[in-house]
Structure 1
Amino acid sequence: MTEPLRKIILASSSPRRKELLGNLGLQFEVEASDADETISDFLSPSENVMELALRKAKAVSQWKREGIIIGADTIVVLENEILGKPRDQEDAFSMLTRLQGRIHVVYSGVALIDMDNQKEVKGFQSTKVHMVPLGSEEIKRYVATGEPMDKAGSYAIQGMGATLIDWIEGCYFNVVGLPLAFLREELKKLGIRIL
């Protein structure tokens, strides 16, 4: 059972992150962040996801005066190229065509701001993912479901996209978008114990 907590704010409108955070038994508010999500060509994938997560938390901190704000961001990396959310169905098809039959890496960054003392902590997790070989028609049918359209790398491992993945090395929840064991450790640094 979790100890009594201060206010926690999730700086994300992602239903996946909301569900994962709820699974920890935490009471929290959701505040969508309007932060700029432009990826820098000058930062590594891990630096990019930590920067984006921190931007999201800082954007929400502009109108919150108390509590702990959690920002998170997830990207997919194939051969050092960052694949974000697809622009349209054609882009989703192109991404999945490149990912099929290959190993890629999913990075999730997490940033927390303690509004009581303005302390910031941030970090990231990475997970190797292997996507099964897919034919063009299979990819087209998956894109037609609409599931890829708001997902980094154009797939959802927690949805129908699970059938596209045959193994991972690392944290499953990291691929979904919020590495829970990692988040527990980061919250502990701010005095919040889940266990």
Structure 2
Amino acid sequence: MGGREAPLILASGSPRRKALLEALGYPLRLAPPEVEEDLDLPPRELAQALARRKGERVEGQWVLAADTVVDLEGEALGKPRDREENRLFLRRLSGRAHLVHTAIYLRTPLDLVEEVHTASVYFRPLSEEEIAWYVESGEGLDKAGGYGAQGLGMALIERVEGDFYTVVGLPVSRVFALLWERGFRP
């Protein structure tokens, strides 16, 4: 089945995921589901469970859901509740490495694929002034771990090992390959 007969339904409200898929030319329909994110699971399993919850709540032939969890030594850092928690997250990440897990849930007319992709992110040591600058931007408030690698947060990151787009919130190359293998074309 070609991609033009039915849209890819993105079970996510993330503007970053939407922009990445649109940049590839996929016909999209957004269907961000309401899901409880209060599961007490290790970070990798949490990402997978949340992606599955999102995907299962949306109807359609071609459904893609994803969830990203920042993992600091086994502790999941979600979206900060406020600027003060954002500041605390950045202090904890400063000068350290952490993992970012992005789980994907892809339901097609042929099958169901669930995968978790992981990248390592290394923050450079941050001064209190730099942390304050970033927190005041507000950019990190709607992002796992309290930062966005593709925006102002790029100034905080020393390096990434693994797929950069996994850190952004969607392992684009893998999603493209999965869709292509199943006949869904942009």
TM over 0.5, yes or no? yes
The aligned counterpart of 2:102 is 108
Q: Could you tell me how far 1:18 is from its partner in structure 2?
A: 0.5
What 5-or-longer segments of structure 1 have no aligned partner?
none
Work out whether residues 5 and 192 of structure 1, in 8 Å CA contact, stay in contact via their aligned partners in 2. Answer: no
Question: Is 1:69 aligned to 2:67, yes or no?
Answer: no
Q: Does 1:17 align with 2:17?
A: yes
Give the conservation status (yes or no) of the 8 Å contact 2:119–2:164: yes
Confirm or deny that 1:27 pairs with 2:27: yes
Residue 144 (structure 1) aligns with: 136
Q: Which runs of 5+ in 2 are unaligned?
A: none
User: Structure 1 CA distance, aligned partners of 2:62 and 2:144?
Assistant: 26
Pairwise CA RMSD of aligned residues? 1.8
Deviations 1:140-194 (CA, angstroms, capped at 9, x unpaired): 1210110010010100111110000011100111111011011123324543256
Secondary structure of 1:158's partner? coil
Contact in 2 for aligned 1:53/1:73 (Cα 8 Å): yes
Report the count of equivalent residues: 185
Identity of aligned residues (%): 40
Distance 1:174 1:102, change over 3 A: same
What TM-score results when the alignment is normalised by the length of structure 1? 0.88
SS in structure 1 at match of 2:57: helix
Counterpart of 1:174, as a letter, is T
In the TM superposition, what is the alpha-carbon distance from 1:39 to its structure 2 partner?
3.1
Opposite residue 15 of structure 2, the aligned amino acid is P
SS in 2 for 1:39: coil
Given that residues 125 and 182 in structure 1 are in contact (C-alpha distance below 8 angstroms), is that contact kept between their aligned partners in structure 2? no
